[in-house]
Each structure stands twice: as structure tokens, then as C-alpha cells.
Structure 1
Amino acid sequence: MTNAMPSDSIMPQLAFRSRLTGVGGALPQQVVTNNDLAERLDTSDEWIRTRTGIGQRHIASGDENAVSLATEAAQAALGHAAVEASDIDAIIVATSTPDQVFPSVAVRVQAALGMERGFGFDVSAACSGFIYAIATADAMIRSGQAKRIIVIGVEVFSRLLDWTDRSTCVLFGDGAGAVVLEAGARDGEGILSTHLHADGRLGDLLYVNGAVGCATGDVALKMNGREVFRHAIVHLAAAVDEALEEQGLNGNDVQWLVPHQANLRIIDGMAKRLALPPERVVVTVDRHANTSAASIPLALNEAVKDGRIKENDLILMEALGGGLTWGSALIRL
């Protein structure tokens, strides 16, 4: 994860490939445990842990919002990559919970970072948003449209949950994760491939009426948990196989699975499919709950910063969310 970049004279712009040079994360200060929820809902720590693997979640309060969390994560990623905000060409934010319909979270972060150049926009693909945003940033770098891009996943799902519905409100948390992508990866390094899918016919299995911050009446997440779980197992397995087969790899070649953190049973199922032991799977769902588009970059940030994920490691990411949308990505640091 070094920062040296080839000059245009050494590598033609259209031959640029993306590499990940920095990670960062941000979590709200307030922690809400399962026992806290049990004080006002007909639930228990055992009920939640058994079905989901979740023990606690971070909930935004006060001045914490999508922009503040995304900005904090971006600043951490910039510091880790040892680049300045002025070096960034674009900001792409994956979120389903923006503070405003517009301007986008991305341009608010751009302003907060003091950037006076470049561009920014948001991507909405629910829990798959970070994979979609990574794929978009990678395509822009490969085409030569940008050389450095911050990709952020951020969610404040706490502000659109029905806190009387134990089937949904116990599942989600707030947070943000970010990565810096730069041109200059050598063959076999950086983002090797991304794979995106959607099936709008399944949109009513997981959706939200209205939008955060809008006076639209019943703004709350609705989910058919049993059906979402069933489709997650099928589609994520296919996306994982697709990524590995394209690169001529198998589960033995993967050092780390960094999955979307929705449900521990789904994560365990993907690990078993790849024949990966638990110590090679990054799990944060127990402490973060489902932070949707933020969950993969938050997990990646944690595992890179604590030294588990190292340079040259092959990382497989996968996610499924409302839409239904799903996808996978292979990255070698």
C-alpha cells in the first residue's frame, strides 16, 4: 500500500488500474446494547444474538449525521493514505440515508474537506452500495477520468427505523467507512474485478417509504426477513463464485473474506462455501450491527488498522441489499 504513482510517460493514462492506498472509519459515540433495547421492546439479548449475532450497535445523536460521519471517515482514510484532500479528484458516497435529498452527501463532504476542485455524487444501492461505488470509482480510474477517488459508505439507519418493531430495529446501526483509491496498480494488484447485479422484481422484499429528513408520513424500513435471507444465500454464493472464476481462483487463494455485516449466519455460510476458517473472516456485526453500505469499509478499516490484513493479501468482498441488489469485488492490497 505504498503511495508512489507512475508518471504518464511510464504508464499511459488509459492503462491505469486502481489500488487501495488508505482506509478510515467513523462510529457514533452512543452505543446501544441488546439489553438496552430489551428494556423497551419484547426482546432479549439471547433472542437477538441467536438470530443475528448482534450484541450492540452505534446510534447517531446530537450533531452526528451522514455528512459528519462520512467526513470523519474520509479524513482518516486520507491520513492513512498520506495524501491531502487537494489531491483528490472525486468523492463517491454510497448511502441510502442522506441528510438531504440534495445536495448530495458527497458534495457536503467535499466542502467539509476544503476541496475546491473535483466532483462528487452519491450512489444508492442499499447494503450493496459500497460494492457499487467501488466499481464506479474503479471504472473512472481505469478510463483516466480520475487518478484519486475517495469512496465512502455511510448510513444513519436509526433515523428511519420503527423503534417499536423488534423484527427490524434491532438489526441496524449507524457509521461510516472510507477508502482511497489511486491509479497505479501493477498487474495482479489492486482491484482485480467487480461484479454487480440487481433484480427489481424483488424490490418489495426490503424497502423504505420516503426518505430521511422528508415529511412523507410513514418513513420506515420494511423487510420480509425470511425471503431476504433466502435470496442472500443464493445470490451471494453466485457472486462469490463469479468473482473467483473470472480470475481463475478458488477459496484457497483468498486470505480474507470481508462481507457485508447483515447476519452472522449468512457470513458463516459464505465462509464455509469458501472453506475459510473463522480467523480469516472479518466480523464486526456483533459490535456494529448492520450498517448497510458502511459495513464493508468499516470492517476493512478495522482489519487493516489492527494488522490482520497485510500488503499483498487477497480480499473478497460481497453484499446484498434492497432492490434487490448484490455484488462482489476482489482486491489485492
Structure 2
Amino acid sequence: MFINAIASYLPEQVVTNAYFQELNGLTDEWIVERTGIRERRKASSEENTHTMALEAAKKITESLPYDISEVDLIVGATYTPHDNIFTLGHALQHALNISEIPVVTISSACSSLLNAIEIVQGYFAMNKASKALVVVSEHNTAYNNEDDTKAGHLWGDGAAVLSISKEKAGEQNWEIKDLITGGAANVGKASEGVTLKPLHRGLIMPYGKDVFINACTYMPKVSKQVMEKNRLTVEDISFVIPHQANYRITKNVAGTLGVPDEKMISNIHYLGNTGCAGCAIAMDENKGKFEKGNKIIVTVFGGGYSYGAMLVEI
């Protein structure tokens, strides 16, 4: 499989830590020390999970190496849906006016990007598709409880779209060499560590320490599994893009893997936790620095718990 185009979208509104100091007394220093976050993006009242995704899709259609009508699979991924019936994937199909193709939308919390790509892998393997769009979009601020002093300051909004083909297409062909995902719902406080119950308090993280511990366990563990499976060492890896949850987690994962800071890609400082869209946004933001032959590990961890790692060769 090959990633042959990628695009992202971020809302214009920037929310700095000063907002939370005024709201609930959390200082900039306190938030930065514990999370690394200085600011995040917030969707406007006219924006939602669908509209942000469609803005990213508009950008990607400009760089697709084939006509949009050739897309024969759309996979959406979000845990912050705008509509549970007219799903993210179907909203993209409607906007692009592509008829009678498989369209699914999935959620495995912040791991959804890699699970969406894994679904594409399955369709390709069964010869049911050959050109797919994966769309990831999170409207965290629509669900967030800002008064929650444990996690209300973490969340940001954003979206990204990747075009993935079974065979090489066009000039950009980042090969997806391997992909491993898994669930860890029977570990720790997986069922209550971080939850989003729309009929209750929204997006909260009552057991952040347990989430932290397991994220720091599973992301390096599955990254090592991918490297070992492909007979690679840390020295062979050019960059690591971890889920953008907390910069302390990023530093911990880097230490466990033995990866120097300059190889760790992060956008959490200015975007906050953008959920399953975070790694895809980071891939788009940094595509100018990637060089042919670079090997990149994308590793994720989501509430529930879920985890995964993907090896991409530029």
C-alpha cells in the first residue's frame, strides 16, 4: 500500500492557556509542565467534524495523482461524530459525489487512524478496492468539559485526509511496509480511564495516570514489534510520530525506545490533543522534511484501550 497524497485542516481560532487560567485557575506554567500544551485550535460555531474533514478533502483533491472518481473506498475515523447516522465517511462521499462504493466509519478512540488504514489493507487484500481515502477528524471541543481541571485543557480540533492506493500512483509513494494494532481493554482502568458519554459529562479523563502508564507501555512495545518484524533497529528509523496526547508521554516513549529528541515529531505544543487526527496532521505538516529512504514509525494509543504502530518508508 502507498500513501500518495495527504492534506489537513485546522480551525482558525487559537485558544491559549490564558483562557484556562481565567476559567479555572490553571496557569500556563502548570499546563505546560504537565502536558507540553501552550495552545490549541477550536472549531467555530459554524464548523464541526464533517466540515473540517471536507476542508481537508478539498486540499487533497488538488494533489491526487488520479481522478477523484477512481476512489473506490472511503474510511472515516472519529470518536467525536457530528452525526451518528450520516457518518463522517458518508459525508465525504456526498461532498465528493462518488457513487456506489464501500463507505465505513470506525472508532477506536485515538488509535482510529491506524485501524482505518488497517481496514483499507483488508479491502485491498480481498481485491474489493484499489484506491481509498482515509479521513480522520476530531471536534473535541464540542464534547469537552472545560471545567474539568484534570483534562479540560487538553483538547483541540482538526482533520486530515490520506489517499492510499494498492499500487504506486503519481510521484509521492510513501510505502506502508507494516501495520500492527491491538486492543488492551482488559488492562488497568481501560473502561474508565478516559470516556466520552454524550448523555453525561462529555469528554473526561478521571484516571489520567493509568492512561499515561499504559500509553508509555504500549506505544514503545508495539513500535519495537514492528521494527523487529522488519529486522530494523532504532538507528534505522528516521522519525517517530507518536499520538499527540501529552508531551511527557512523547518524551517517555522516546526514552524507552532510545530515540533522540530530534527524531520525535510533535505538534501538541500548539495544537493540543487532536485525537486520532493528530498523527495524520503531523505527517502533513512535516512532509517537506521527509526524504526518500526515510523510515518512519507512527505509533498510537487510545482510550478503551487501543494501540498500534505503522512503518512507512518514504
TM-score of the two chains, using structure 2 as the length reference: 0.93
Of 193, 200, 221, the residue aligned with 2:178 is 193
Aligned to 2:142: 159
Deviation of 1:275 (Å): 3.0
Quote how far apart the aligned CAs of 1:325 are: 0.6
Q: Please tell me the root mean square deviation across aligned C-alpha atoms, in Å.
A: 1.7
Query: Does structure 1 residue 323 correspond to structure 2 residue 308?
Result: no
Summarize deviations over 1:138-170 as a string: whole Å, max 9, x none. 222233211111112110011111111121111
1:256 to 1:174, Cα distance in 2 relative to 1, 3 A = same
Q: Please, which of 76, 80, 98 is the counterpart of residue 115 of structure 1?
A: 98
Structure 2 partner of 1:311: 292
Maintained 8 Å contact 2:148/2:204: no
Q: Which ranges of structure 2 fall in alignment gaps of 5 or more residues?
A: none
Q: Secondary structure at the match of 1:40?
A: helix
How far apart in 2 are the matches of 1:288 and 1:156?
Answer: 13
Unaligned runs of 5+ in 1: 1-17, 211-215
What letter matches 1:68 in structure 2? Answer: T
For this pair of structures, how many residues does the alignment match? 308
Matched, 1:95 2:83: no
Check conservation: 1:85, 1:114, Cα contact below 8 A: no
Partner in structure 1 of residue 194 of structure 2: 206
Contact 1:134 1:151 in 2 (8 A): yes
Q: How does 1:289-308 map to 2 (within 5 A)?
A: 289-304=272-287, 307-308=288-289
Corresponding residue SS for 2:299: strand
| Offset at residue 217 of structure 1 (A) | 4.3
Tell me how far apart the structure 2 counterparts of residues 79 and 223 of structure 1 sit (CA, whole Å): 42
Distance 2:240 2:62 in 1: 25
Q: Secondary structure at the match of 1:205?
A: coil
Which residue pairs with 1:143 in the alignment? 126
Q: Cα deviations across residues 106-164 of structure 1 (Å, max 9, x unaligned)?
A: 00111112222422111100011101111111222233211111112110011111111
Q: 1:169 to 1:226 in 2, by over 3 A?
A: same
* Superposed CA offset, 1:83-105 (max 9, x none): 33212111111100110111211
Q: Is the 8 A contact 1:22 1:79 kept in 2?
A: no
- State whether residues 147 and 182 of structure 1, in contact with CA within 8 Å, keep that contact through their aligned partners in structure 2: yes
Q: Given residue 166 of structure 2, which amino acid in structure 1 is its aligned partner? A: A
The one-letter amino acid of 2:192's match is: D
- Identical amino acids, percent of aligned pairs: 26
Q: Secondary structure at the match of 1:35?
A: helix
Letter of the structure 2 residue corresponding to residue 95 of structure 1: T
Tell me the secondary structure at the aligned position of residue 126 of structure 1: coil
Aligned with residue 257 of structure 1, among 234, 240, 249: 240
Partner Cα separation in structure 2 for residue 221 and residue 189 of structure 1 = 36
Match of 2:15 in 1: 32
Q: Distance in 2 between matches of 1:80 and 1:117?
A: 23
| 1:211-250: CA deviation from partner (whole Å, max 9, x where unpaired) | xxxxx24334343101110111111121111111110111
1:287 aligns with 2:270: yes
1:319 maps to a residue whose letter is V
User: With structure 1 as the length reference, what TM-score do the two structures score?
Assistant: 0.88
Shift of 1:77: 2.5
Q: C-alpha displacement at 1:189, in angstroms? A: 6.6
